[in-house]
Structures are given as structure tokens and as C-alpha cells.
Chain A
Amino acid sequence: MQFLSPWMLGGLAALALPVIIHLMQRKRVVQIPFSTLRFLRLVQSKTARRSRVENLLLLILRCLVFALLVLAAARPVVSPKAANWWGGSVPRTIVLVIDNSLSMNYRTSDRTRLDAARQQALAILDDVRAGDEVAVIAANDRAQMLIGEPTVNYASARQAVEGIQQTQFRTDFGPALREARKIVTRSQKRIRHVYLLTDNQEGGWRFAPGTVFDDIWRDTGAQLTVVRPDDLTAVNAAVTRVILQSPFATVGTTVRGSATVENFSKADLHDLLEVNLGTQRVTQRTVDVAAGSATEVPFEFPMPLVTGDSIHGTVSIQDDHLPDDNRQYFWLAVYQPPHVVVVEGQQVGPESLHSGYFLTKALAAGGDITAKVVSATELDDFALEGYSAVFICDATLSDRALVRLDRLLQRGGTVAFFFGDHSNPDNLAHIDFLPAKPAGVSELPAGRMSVRTLEPRHPLFVNAWDTSTPFPALPQQKLFNLDIVKDAKVLLTLGDNIPFLIAGTRGAGKVLFVNASADRSWGDLPISPAFLPLVKQIARWSAELDRQLANYSVGDGLPAAPNLLREEPLTVTLPNGATQPLGAGEWVVERAEHAGIYSVASPHDGVVQQIAVNIDPRESNLKSITDAALLKLAPCDIVTGLDGLRQWLDQKRELTPLWPACLLLALLVFAAEAVIANVMARNRSQSAEVHIATGRLNKRRMSQPFRAAAPVAAEK
């Protein structure tokens, strides 16, 4: 038995009070002269012992009342074993929620915070009593039910705790606590404990508390105890974002990009940023980041000679206590010369008058793009497989041609439309994948018109036009009045916000609407300085996959590229080297579990899709929630460290309080004392009411000799 307020035991000195009063009563005995002790001597043997016993009993009972009250004030508790011995132990439902999110991989000395949490969970399991049932849940951004149905098989619970794996998911306690709430709601046990073993990361508490700590939770009487590590100060820095300016790189050219390095510590960071392509380090930069701030670090490197059409790389800083977030993965498409088709609507007269003349010349410039020129009618039977883009130059398209173009678009190809005097708006209205619908031709005044770039970071403009080299003004004379289709994007406007370049999508493909002619029928665009780069960018962009722009984090679903040819078996290679077949669904993996590169490969074409998955940057901020903030969110006890947990288990949670029993016992003893004292007083008062019989007998005896003559005669 232990006492939670042992200093109150000093009150036991009060026990001397009734004893002193008792002794003082004895000293106050007065001497009374009495006629004879004859009768008192006779009764003494009967009453003295009884009286002494009664008084002693009363003294003991009064002392006992004092002692029990003092004991109750000292708050006695008994250990579980002792409670079991007298049947005072109540079986409990214990739910262990163990945080195995990325932040729990924070390493100090030779162990991680997850190791500490495991040890704490085992300490709790060491403390279970017969009849307790245990459930185990791993908590990250989801709830992982290791033992979903509470069990009394503590060995399996220990096994589950020891087997909890570190993950790279972010922290969100909501799902796990909701599952714990379901368990305690179902439980038939009177005592329900939920232990959350975690680093108590602030980000984990951003769920709606009302979804867990509601009236049902309160009705169950469940008690939440948050067990956190001893050391809450965390030193961590992370590469949280990487941006590559070029969507794809050409061998020998310079690849430019930037990395964001965030310092979540309270000390300045001096580090070295490394950029690796494959296993080769391509550049290095020093990084200085002030405490609690972020810095964007630009970098550039020459694109080395690589095989294949893509390469993956990392941007990393030096390892710290949490190494998982020190690198960001990316992959880079290696530029492959695109194969394009130019469809000429007008092939009458010399070649220079053909509607695709300037376009073909522009594409051929530099020699990296292979262009095949066909007429509109030839397109009906032309196989577009192997081509990434089709340029339509003032051509009227048949339905068969449109079907072919649609297939190209569905596979991820690009169709760019240029118009002219022979473009028929009625014919164009039938093309349902056009991002804008022509509604008549407008004449523009002579002279150049300024062009405004609405999305400067669009791949069409990267490495071509920016704020220092704006898109040049155009000498445009005619153009379509357009109705922009929903979801289409206007990339360039001419003059007074006249849509000039509109982008739309069809399946995985891209549709570009250039509100100009590829010949000089509607203006001098073909001979303007903007024409050649624009055409080249369109051709190159057609060879690029949109998916590389997507930013995926651990925990996200990774979509399969729509142009994957499913006729042959595809294999997914995970960052940890494991491989699995690609299913028929739309996901490469439904939930990315690791940061790194996920590759999809076919037996013939090699790698056909690569996806870079990185750590959720929110998880890198290891700041713990403050006790005050936590108590506002959830009614709970907060325990720090393994030693603190053990003390807490000993002192509060596992000990059975005895002071209510002491108070009850004191009340009973007090009642017994009152009853005994009352009975004694009543006995004494009753003895006072007993009177010695006198008088009547005398009269009767006296009357006899006076009335009866016989005795007198006898005497005679």
C-alpha cells in the first residue's frame, strides 16, 4: 500500500487526543466517603471489567475513527497485485495507439522515437492485469489496425508492438483515434484507457477534435493518455521542394532549377546541397538557412550524356537526425527529337505558296525535328503511330482524319491548328476537341500588335520567352472571333485581349489553337521572329509527358499514364527495389509508401513511366504541440518519457484508491461507536430508573400481628 499524500499521516498524532482525554478522565476521579463498600465490592467484579471493556472499546473506536480519517486524507492506494488479492481490480480495455509516421524516425543516440514508443508500449503491457484486454493500432495518416479486436493474448499484443514498422507517411491522429473510439465504445469493460505513444507532432492534431472527443467518448469514460518522448527539442532541416525550369533536358544543354531548403531548428543551418543524376553528382552548392526559415537555392548543371528518354535524380543536404526528408527525388525527361506531320490544306502552285511551307521550314531548322508533309486527303489513310504531333495548316478535315487525330490525342499526342482563308468555320465546328469555336473572321488594323503571355511558366514559353525577352509583337491582319471552350486555357492574347494561342486537352493529348495562319494569308506571323521558336516549342512539347509536372508525396495514389500500352505485361519497380505487376486499374500504386522513384517498365520498350515521390514537407516540421494547446483539443493526461510513464503507471493509473473505503469505514466505525455509547448510556439511565421496593411489604407484615389474635394467644 502506498500513500499519495504521505505528509497527511502526520495527522496520526491526533490519535493522542482521545487517549489523553481518556487518561485525564481517569485522573479526575474524586474520593467519596461511603457507608460501606460491601455491595460495591460484590458488584465490582461484575461491572468493573465490563465498564473497563466498554470504555476501552469506545476509546479504540474513537481512535479508529481518527486514524481512518487521517488515512483517507493521506490517500492510500494499493498495487494491482494487492487489489487482485482482495478482489478490487477491475478489468480494463487498453488501446495502444503507436505513432509510426515519418517523424518517429527521428534518431537520437542509437535509437529512434519509434523505438522509444515501442518500449513505452511494452511497459504498459508489462503492467496489464488478468482480465485486461488490449488492442494495438499504428497511427500515421491512416489507422493501421494491428490488433483491432481487443485481446487478452498479451503475447500477440507484444508481438504486434515489437513488429510495428517505421513508415514515411505523415502524422494525422484523427483516423487512429477514431478507431480507438470505436473500440472503447464497443468495450464492455468499465475502465477504458487509450494510450497515444507519439512525438506529439503539432501537425498530427489538425483533425476536428469533435469527431473523436464527442459525447459518446465522454459517456464511455475513456481516458486518453499521451505519452511523448523525453526530449522534445528536434533539430531538423529538409529539402522540401525542387523545381526544374526545363521540362526536359537536351544532352549538353544546361539544366536549371532550384531547391527549397527549410530549417525547422532553432539554430542556423550551414550545409551543402548536392544534385545527383542517377549515381553521379552533377553539382554542389553551399546552403545557409537561418533558424526557422526557408531558402530557395538555385542550381544548374550541364545535361550529361544518358541513355534512354529519362533520368532520375536527387537534391539532398547532409544527413541529420531525420534523414528521410533530406533529399528530394525528381526525374528528368531527356529530349528526344520529335517526329511530326504537317497537313497542308493548300498545295496549289509553287511550294512557297503551300500553306505548310513556312511551318515545314521552321521545323526543319536545326535538323532535330523530322517533319512529314501530307495533304488533307492523305491524312485520311495516314498512320500517325510514331508521331508526336500533327500540325493542321488551313485544312478542311474529313471525319476519318478526325478519328485518326482523336486516337493520336488519346495516346498523348499533340494537334496544333493554324488557319487561313480556306478554313471553314462550319467545318471547324464539327471538331469537338477544339479548345475554341470560331465565330467569324475579324479584320485587324495594319501594324504590329502587342502579345501578352498569360502563363509565363507554361512549357511552351520556358527557355524561349520570359520577362526579359517578351513574346514579340505580331503583324496580324485577320483572325477568328472565338468562343473559348470550358477548361481551355488562353496562353497568349493579342492586342486588346484577343485570344491568340489557346490550349486544350483531349484524353492524354494536347490541342493547340493558334488564331493565325501558317502562311501569310492572315498576317506576317510566319516571317516574324516569334514563329520559329513557337513552332519548335510546340514540336518539343508534344514529345513531353505532362505527368512529370505532377508532385507526388508519400501516401498519394500514383496514376498510370494513359498512353501506356497495356497489351504487354508491365512491371512496377518500387523505390525499395521490389517489383510488382501493374494491374488493370488506373493506378501504378494506390498508395505510395516510400519516397523515391516508381518506374513502370515494359519488356520491349524498357521504362515507359517514371514517377518521383517525395516526403510530405509538412512532416518535416517536428514541432510538438504545447500541453496547453493539446489540453484544449483533447481531455487527456500527458506523460513524458519511459520513466515518467512508469511513475505514472505506479502512482496514478494502475493503483486502486483506498480512501473511499477508509471514509466509509470511518463512517461505519463512527456509527458503531455512537450505537455502543448510546446503548451504554441507555443502560445506565435505565439503572437509574430501577427503584428499590420499600413500604408496601412493611405494612402487610405489620398488619398481621395486630389483626390476628392467634399469635398473641400462642404467646399466652
Chain B
Amino acid sequence: MAIGISDFLSPEAMRKLDSFSLRSRYVVEGFQSGGHASPLKGASVEFTDYRQYVKGDNLRNLDWKVFGKTDRYYIKQFEEETNLRVQVIIDGSGSMAYASAGRPTKYRYACNVAAALGYLVSKERDSLGVTIYDNEIRQHVPARTGKRHLRVFLERLAGHEPKNKTETGKALHALAEMISRRGMIVLLSDLFDDPEAVFSALAHFRKKMHDVILLQILDPVELDLEIGQMAEFLDLETGEKMEIDPSAARLAYKQELQKLIDQCREKCAVLNVDYRLVTTEQSFEDFVHQYLAERRRMSL
């Protein structure tokens, strides 16, 4: 059975998304003309700067008005606009399979958010790619445009089952080497991994001038550890078991988790990574709308 956008988004959600667009905060390198700023100067309506004429320059770009006033030769420069290459990276490890009662798994939530972003990117005729990893890259689809490609994108999301341990650093480093042109990287993960390795990989992306969005997805129970009784916890990634009294451990647990989140915030701030923490308690449509609205507001 074919997977379509309607498997992830309701018509109402799609209608709401139509008024938004996902824009990069930085210039990006596309392969065709589009609505995003490009580092290349070329034919465009967007004037950017003047420069001294040098021999060999196209005289079409010579500003005669300035020559008439100043008797000097200046060349008018225009910003080239190109399309956006968005690579969605999803943590597909075992920990993403966790869901508390009545809530979706973190992986499903990540897929929903990715689908919404993909729909938005595809609508803008930008390029969209997806990478799913656990301890290594399990699925990788390079960024392309077209509605057919969106279906491939969605099929890859639906076709993965979260399992195995997480090795985010290793997978992201490999991916960073695979993506040569600067674009937008959207990472959806619970970040239950070695923070140093994760942010080392994110720094790698940033070094390659990618606009990086980091969405940390957590279940509310993971935040509050609201489990009333003595329990034996089973690690979804390693199968390890541990007996613990959640009520007694709650405070220390929260402190440790808070450390991780604070660390993520600090690192993201340093790396200029757009970091957001989202819980599966909030509907993904609300989160995407809220997030996009916020980005749009910030960019005005």
C-alpha cells in the first residue's frame, strides 16, 4: 500500500501549513534558481553591492549613473537566489520507540514533524532529503525536488522501525561528509547519547555552513519520571534492566536530565544551532505551526 502525505498530515494541518514557508537563516547553495539567498552573485533583481570595475567585467553591469556623477567605473553586483536543500535527519534508535500511555512514540512524533516540514519544503519547490540512523546510517535519501520525491521521503520514514543503540556522532559525521553543498539540516532526536559526540557532529555541519535545526523530542514521562511504584526499568536500546524506586530517584533524575538539556542549550547557542525541546504531549501540528510562526516573526 502506497504511503502518502495524508498518512502523516490531516487536510486541516496541510491547509494551515500552506501559509508558512521554511526559510533558512543563512545563504544556501541550490542547484536551481529559487527564493533563497545564494552565496553566488549573478543575475537577479536583488542588488547587493558596488565594486571597482576590472578588466573583463560584463559592461552590462556597469553603473552609468555613478560613472556620470563620479567619472569612475563601478560594477553593480546582484544576489543570486537559489532553492533550499533541506536534509531531515531522524534518530531511529531504540530509545525513540518509547511512548508513555496514550502518547505516540518519539519516532512517530519525529516522523510527523518531518512530514510536515517535508510537505512545506516540497510545496516551496525546495529540495528535500532524509537520513535515518541509529548506530549507523540506515536510510539515506539525498535532497531532491518534486512530489514524487516527497512520496519516497515519506515511504522511507514509514519503513523504518526504531531499534539498536544510538551512535549519533558517528552517523552525523559520516553524513556531514556526504552533503557537500550548504543547506538546511533538521535533526530530530531525543539526544540520549554522548553529548560531546553529538555536538562534535553538529559542529561539523556548522563548519560546512549548514543551517542546523535541532529538535529534541522527549516523552513527558521522560521529563517527570511520573511512575508511581517501584519498578524494574528495561532499557529499550540495550535490554539492560534496573530496579529503582522512581519516587525516590525522581529529583536526582530530573537534575541529571536538566544538566543534559542545559548542556544542549549552551552548545547550540555556541554553534548557532536552532534548538528546540518538544514533548510528545504537544500535538505536532501545533508545534510545527508555532515553530514556523516564530521563525517567521524572528526573520521580519
Contacts and interface: CB of A to CB of B under 8 A. Distances in A.
B18 interface: no
Interface in B193-237: 209, 219, 222-224, 226-227, 229-237
Given A40-B249, A40-B253, A688-B250, A706 B244 contact: no
Contacts of B299: 706
Given A40-B253, A692-B258, A702 B245 contact: no
B242 interface: yes
Contacts, number: 154
Contacts of B97: 35
Contact of B249 (A35, A43, A690, A693): A43
A115 to B, nearest CB: 74
A253 interface: no
B252 A36 contact: no
Interface in A101-131: none
Nearest to A693: B258
Contact size range, B: 35 or more
Contacts of A35: 94-98, 106, 190, 192, 219, 222, 236-237
Contacts of B230: 25-26, 28-29
B298 A42 contact: no
Contacts of A690: 251, 254
B248 A50 contact: yes
A43 B237 CA distance: 19
A687 B272 contact: no
Contact of A36 (B209, B237, B298): B237
A36 B192 contact: yes
Interface in B94-124: 94-98, 106
Contacts of B96: 35
B234 A33 contact: yes
Given A30-B231, A48-B244, A699 B256 contact: no
A705 B251 contact: no
Contacts of A469: none
A710 to B, nearest CB: 12
Contacts of A32: 227, 231-234
Contact of A47 (B224, B240, B245): B245
A715 B26 contact: yes
Interface string B261-286: 11001001100101111000000000
B44 interface: no
Contacts of B240: 37
Interface string A29-56: 1111111111111111011101100100
B232 A30 contact: yes
Contacts of A692: 223-224, 254, 257-258, 261
B25 interface: yes
B177 interface: no
A693 B259 CA distance: 10
B108 to A, nearest CB: 14
Contacts of B248: 47-48, 50-51, 54, 684
B247 A39 contact: no
B249 A47 contact: yes
A687 B254 contact: yes
B276 to A, nearest CB: 5
Given A34-B235, A44-B244, A707 B229 contact: no
Contact of B275 (A33, A42, A54, A701): A701
Contact of B224 (A42, A48, A688, A711): A688
B27 interface: yes
B241 interface: yes
Nearest to A705: B25
B12 interface: no
Contacts of B236: 33-36
B39 to A, nearest CB: 8
Contacts of B243: 29
23 contacts: A28-B230, A33-B233, A33-B234, A34-B235, A35-B98, A35-B222, A38-B192, A39-B256, A41-B242, A44-B242, A46-B249, A47-B244, A47-B248, A47-B252, A51-B248, A51-B249, A684-B247, A688-B226, A688-B250, A691-B223, A698-B277, A701-B274, A702-B274
Closest 6 pairs (CB-CB, A-B): A687-B251, A43-B252, A51-B248, A35-B98, A706-B298, A35-B95
Interface of B: 25-27, 39, 94-98, 106, 190, 192, 209, 219, 222-224, 226-227, 229-238, 240-245, 247-258, 260-262, 265, 268-269, 272, 274-277, 294-295, 298-299
